[in-house]
Amino acid sequence: MHLPRNDSIPPRASRVLDTATIGFSVSPPAERGERGTDVVADTGRGGFPSWRPPLPDPLLQRRRGRSSRRLVAVSSARPSQVLLRFLAALTLALALPGYLASSAGAAQTNLVVAPPTARDTFSDTWVATDALGRSLPLCSEVGLPRKDRTVGVFYFLWHYPRGGLGPFDITQILARDPQAATNPASPLWGPLHEFHHWGESIFGYYLSDDEAVLRKHAQMLADAGVDVIIFDVTNQQTYPQSWKTLCRVHDQIRREGGRTPQIAFLCPFWDPKNVARELWEQLYSPGLYADLWFRWEGKPLILADPALTELAPEVRARFTFRKPQPDYFIGPMGPNQWGWLEAYPQHIFTNAAGAREQMTVGVAQNAVDGKLDRKSVV
């Protein structure tokens, strides 16, 4: 999946403002049917204007989908008062460890530091228009975020050069030789089975273990509201170097107070046993990065036919399986099956109880007029 370019970077976790709130009140949000940014009104003691611009993002800690708001505002006290309060707080902070030590005597005092709370960048309030004039829909069109919806995208781990070859860029190849589109023997394509880029991304021809790119991907996906990234390992390779690096990066981001999607795997459609066994042995059985596992019906989700995994029954019982449907057109063949990609109009996939569970949304696929083809765009 290719997300729109997003050059905005969320505020750093170190930006903290600890202030008093004397003389302030909060004005209500704009009555326009969509989420906006509150403004802060001065009640007059500090000599400020009657209103001021919205506070920076870290100061408005609004929780998504809730009507209550928590606010940290700048004090209207005089500078001398602010300085005195700061010096008093600093003195207390410096004296506190000694006080604890003396009051505890010979006993050991342990201060437990709570893990950082994930920062909300309020990406569900952003607006955007691209270079072609296409704009994202607003809240008035799509409504507020819904807690009963889960968004997943496929994520590919195979960006590695083989034998020092490449990168092979389809856009550049066709620009050099338009006839290459119908000539698979063109030397511009490189050796058979080489991976190709549709074009050069804003990060360049990056590798799948580039930690800087993985960090930016995590931020962009989280800001886009993606709940889970599903690794496509249908080519009988799990790319452990890639997913281990990604999991390590995502784990560190969360420790720093950032947000990342969960993870899951799409196994080979017809022969998933080797991939399923490798994932069990390397990831799930050791319990690596369990906080990142995407869970469905209370268990880690694996997209694979459980009957073909050849995992022991007690191992299969620890997962929720959904059999992946590789066909673009015919839809579900039974319950507990999820689609991989479908041409419009898509089908609804249901669980064993008949409840609607999943639908694919693809912006492009290699199918047109009811059959597979080189490309199609919907």
Residue 94 corresponds to which tokens in the numbers above?
A: 């410096």
pLDDT attached to residue 120: 84
pLDDT over 50 (residue 51) = no
pLDDT attached to residue 109: 40
pLDDT attached to residue 115: 59
Q: What are phi and psi of 331, to 5 degrees?
A: 80, -165
pLDDT over 90 (residue 210) = yes
The C-alpha atoms of residue 113 and residue 115 are separated, in whole angstroms, by 6
Task: Dump pLDDT digits (tens) for 274-290.
Answer: 999 999 999 999 999 99
Tally Cβ neighbours within 10 Å of residue 110. Answer: 5
pLDDT attached to residue 113: 52
pLDDT attached to residue 182: 92
Q: What are phi and psi of 369, to 5 degrees?
A: 55, 40
Task: Write down the mean pLDDT value for the chain.
Answer: 76
Give the whole-number percent of the chain exceeding pLDDT 90.
53
pLDDT attached to residue 178: 96
- What DSSP string describes 289-300? TGGGB-EETTEE
124 or 114, greater pLDDT: 124
Model confidence at 218, pLDDT cuts 50, 70, 90, reads very high
The C-alpha atoms of residue 129 and residue 35 are separated, in whole angstroms, by 18
Tally Cβ neighbours within 10 Å of residue 182. Answer: 8
Rounded average pLDDT over 302-321: 97
Task: Dump pLDDT digits (tens) for 158-172.
Answer: 888 777 788 999 999
Domain map (residue ranges) of the chain: 1-124, 125-377
- 9 within 8 A of 15, measured Cβ to Cβ: no
Residue 74 corresponds to which tokens in the numbers above?
A: 């700048």
98 or 136, greater pLDDT: 136
Tally Cβ neighbours within 10 Å of residue 75. Answer: 15
pLDDT attached to residue 41: 37
CA-closest candidate to residue 239, choices 175, 282, 206, 290 = 282
Please give the single-letter amino acid code of residue 73: A
Task: Dump pLDDT digits (tens) for 90-100.
Answer: 444 444 444 43
Angle CA 276–314–291, to nearest 5: 60
Model confidence at 232, pLDDT cuts 50, 70, 90, reads very high
- Residue recorded with tokens 């083809």: 373
157 or 2, greater pLDDT: 157
Omega cis (within 30) before 345: yes
Q: What are phi and psi of 345, to 5 degrees?
A: -80, 140
Its pTM stands at: 0.68
- 261 within 8 A of 227, measured Cβ to Cβ: yes
Helix extents (H) in 146-237: 170-176, 211-223
CA-closest candidate to residue 58, choices 114, 10, 125 = 10
The C-alpha atoms of residue 347 and residue 328 are separated, in whole angstroms, by 10
For the ranges 19-33, 135-149, 314-328, the maximum mean pLDDT occurs at: 314-328
